[in-house]
Structure 1
Amino acid sequence: MSPTTGTRSRTDYSGGLSRVVRHPLFWPLVALAVLLLANTVHSPDFLAISVLDGHLFGAPIDILRNSAPLLLVALGMTLVIATRGIDLSVGATVAIAGAVSLSFIASSPNPGAVSTVLVAMGIALLLCLFLGVWNGFLVSVVGIQPIIATLILMTAGRGIAMLITEGQITTVTSAPFKTLGSGFWLGLPVAALVALGVYALVAALTRRTALGMLVESVGINPSASRLAGVKARTIVWTVFALSGLFSGLAGLILASNVMAADANNAGLFIELDAILAVVIGGTSLQGGKFSLSGTLVGVFIITTLTLTVTIVGVSPLVTPLFKAVVVIAVTLLQSPVVREKLAARSRRRAARPEEVAA
């Protein structure tokens, strides 16, 4: 092999490695792999999956199930952020969904009936959809800044949930409703299957139709989008409505998991975790391009980190600190300045063999 051929192969290898490092999902996947490795070192059977009564159990299954509510909220948040918006009301919407559904089931003469559960879930989802439409109306029609418009519902939402539950923690006993949060189907948690099904549907709608391009165009330049014939108001209204709907579904899963509606604590700070997951996944808070796959990885990072803190034995009160450290590390590695420096370093390394050969 000639020196020129060897230099070219090394250059191609360095260039390929540089492209891999610059991929938006590279560092989030590295962070997730590091968390899984750290857990495996601490507990060698961390990744082990067992079968009991036809159902799968183990830490990976727990991560899938626990990620379901956050994934649903983060999907809606991704679309909202892609349009240069933000939705701070998702936590309150989660609480309202649980309060409405469990209050209806508790007041029903037959709480264990499938029809009762379906009606309760339908009412809760319709109300949450309306709340999302209300946020979209304030933002797209009235012209209120998204952070202010959703802050209104964030402040009032838990009060609404408290009114629905009369200030009490509402509990029920209903096997059909419990299935949503704790049940299994084909060996997998129902909650995870629901969340992944919604993820697949949203991915198909945004990447196989024009919806994703329209959302990105509105986020990049709303004025230019309107001049190009895009109904920016309708797009913004739609993403806020979807955010409310997905948050309501997440609220049903959380309420079903504990079979109780706690207006004060249900979905508390989930809006912050959703924003963290979206940012870790590479979606810019300035709007425009978004990554659903990045959001999925970000959700897994947040959930795995929370489980890691529990396994290691650290107080849950310290969990936000660990989340902040991971977010800072991943976002720094994803920043354009750091990427350019890494790329420049790779180019210098690739150029050194050529200088020697010359």
Structure 2
Amino acid sequence: MQNLVTVIKNLTKKRLFWPIIALLAVLIFDSIFIDGFLTIELKNGNLYGRIIDIINRSSSLIIITIGMTLVIATGGIDISVGSVVAISGAITVQLLGSGIAPNTPFFLCIIASLAAAALLGCWNGFLVSRIGVQAVVATLILNVAGRGIAQLVTNGQIPTTQYKPFSYLAGFLPHLPIPFSIFIVAVVLTAIVLFVKKTAFGLFVESVGVNSKASRFAGLKAQRIVFATYAICGLCAGIAGLMISSMIKAADSNNAGLLIEMDAILAVAIGGNPMSGGKFSIAASVIGALIIQSLTTTLYAMGVSPEVLPVVKAVVVVIICLFQSEGTHKMILKVLSTHRRLKYEKTV
């Protein structure tokens, strides 16, 4: 019994343990109570199924969550990513035009939208790091104004596009059975992880998040670190905007990325990353994003209406966070230790 307690104690200290347990719990629940949840079919050369839907539809959230993790690790927050998503999609669709052939070369459309998204991230970073505006206030400015900017780009309309290659971003490439969005996530995730782990940037981010003032005294350019995280977050939101608009082949400035910033923040929290900043795990945040999307898919499959969905999701998220809290861990270990002591007393 002592060995079991020690093993459980060591496991619970692993950052990825509780997020993985939470994700497995949701998937096990789905496999039991939702018929055909684990079924994957091959139709017209493409794979279909709820698991595939979860992976595909969580792609944009995962990418935003990656950027949000870095921002939160510095002790900040970005609630403008939903508006950046809308602006990115609006620029791309507007430049492509509604025809089968693009009005602007596709590559230039992508560059323009991503450049605009990165610039908006830089604006947030400038307000927070240079001007000293509180992160919530600085990003709230763009959160409010961003959808108005997207409306200006689209002239208040919902433009559509028939350019087929654009639909591949969130769909299937010819002769490729899995969604192309998976490869986009893999590229972004690999690039960010390598940048964070193979350079000193990740360590600098954690240092700034733990104590920004001490980091400056130690010689770190804390303002530059904070500025860079917001720029990366804006770029990630721009990539997600391309994928979301690609999914509907249109730019919906009012609804594209609506409240996705809340899901991204929840994903970071569910991943066990401290909201106060400091040490972070991108992998844990990615698992958190998968949990959020799994919950959404589960509730829709069970017939929960969109109006009630946020309430049910919030309750489940609270339960998950409680299980990840230090207090819960200590209570579990205390129960196991008490059981072991009582068993020992009986044998004596």
Is the TM value for this pair above 0.5? yes
- Equivalence for 1:166: 155
Per the alignment, residue 331 of structure 1 pairs with: 321
**Cα contact 1:80–1:239 (8 A) shared by 2:** yes
Separation in 2 of the partners of 1:318 and 1:37?
23
Q: Compute the RMSD of aligned alpha carbons.
A: 1.8
**Size of the alignment, in residue pairs?**
347
> Displacement, 1:201?
1.9
Q: What's the counterpart of residue 311 of structure 2?
A: 321
Identity of aligned residues (%): 42
Within the alignment, does 1:77 sit opposite 2:62 as a pair? Answer: no
2:333 counterpart of 1:343: yes
SS in 2 for 1:316: coil
Tell me the residue number matched to 1:199: 189
| Secondary structure of 2:206's aligned partner | helix
Whether the 8 Å CA contact 1:108–1:116 is kept in 2: the answer is no
Instruction: Return 252-261 or 327-336, whichever deviates more.
Output: 327-336
Alignment pair present for 1:12 and 2:12: no
Indicate conservation of the 8 Å contact 1:24/1:334, yes or no: no
Q: Distance in 2 between matches of 1:212 and 1:18?
A: 27
Q: Which residue of 1 aligns with 2:46?
A: 55
1:68 aligned to 2:76?
Answer: no
SS at match of 1:173: coil
Q: CA deviation at 1:314?
A: 1.4
1:239 aligned to 2:232?
A: no
Q: How many angstroms apart in 2 are the aligned matches of 1:54 and 1:229? A: 56
**Structure 1: runs of 5+ lacking an equivalent:** 1-9
The answer to whether the aligner puts 1:182 opposite 2:171 as a matched pair is yes
The farther-off stretch of 162-171 and 343-352 is 343-352
Q: CA deviation at 1:53?
A: 3.2
> Residues 21-36 of structure 1: matches in 2 within 5 Å?
21-36=12-27
| 2:267 aligned residue (274, 277, 292) | 277
Rg larger for: 1
Aligned partner (choices 138, 145, 158) of residue 134 of structure 2: 145
Moved more, 309-318 or 75-84: 309-318
SS in 2 for 1:189: coil
Alignment of 1:223-302 (within 5 A): 223-302=213-292
Aligned-partner SS, 2:141: helix
Change (3 A) 1:107 1:186: closer
Instruction: Find 1:42's aligned residue among 27, 33, 57.
Output: 33
- The TM-score normalised by the length of structure 2 is 0.95
Bigger drift between 306-315 and 192-201 goes to 192-201
Q: How far does the alpha carbon of each residue in 1:269-317 deviate from its partner, in whole angstroms, 9 at most, with x for none? A: 0000100111000111100011111111111111111111111111121
Aligned with 1:93 (options 84, 89, 94): 84
- TM-aligned CA distance change 1:209 to 1:354, over 3 Å: farther
Gaps of 5+ in 2: none
Once the two structures are TM-superposed, the CA of residue 160 in structure 1 deviates from its matched residue by: 0.3
Deviations 1:63-113 (A, max 9, x none): 11000110111111100000000001100000000110100111789318x
CA distance in structure 2 between the aligned counterparts of 1:197 and 1:252, rounded to whole angstroms:
15
Quote the Cα distance in structure 1 between the aligned partners of 2:296 and 2:205.
Answer: 32
Q: TM-score, normalised by structure 1?
A: 0.92
Change in 2 beyond 3 A, CA 1:41/1:354: closer
Aligned pair 1:132/2:121, yes or no?
Answer: yes
CA–CA distance in 1 between the matches of 2:335 and 2:29? Answer: 29
How far did 1:355 drift? 4.6
Deviation at 1:47, TM superposition (A): 0.9
